[in-house]
Amino acid sequence: MTILQKIDRFLHASGMPPTLFGRNAVHDPRLVGDLRNGREPRPDTVARIETYIAEQEGRA
């Protein structure tokens, strides 16, 4: 599963808007839109995203 697929699954399950996700996860409200348009995230960015998703799912 790609990082974008993980993000989309999280967004669908949580109902969180993509811009809020990007802002909260990596301080970039354009993150999800950029990924959908072909941006390739750096490994440290992927790690921050995965950590954020794990933390949010742990709180649910």
Tens-place pLDDT, residues 6-46: 999 999 999 999 999 999 999 999 999 999 999 999 999 99
> What's the token pair of residue 57?
């799912």
| Total domain count, the chain | 1
Domain span holding position 22: 3-59
Model confidence at 59, pLDDT cuts 50, 70, 90, reads confident
Measure the CA–CA gap between 35 and 55, rounded to whole angstroms.
Answer: 21
CB 31 within 8 A of CB 42: no
The DSSP code for 20 is H
Model confidence at 60, pLDDT cuts 50, 70, 90, reads low
Per the rule left: phi > 0, alpha: psi between -120 and 50, beta: everything else, 27 is left
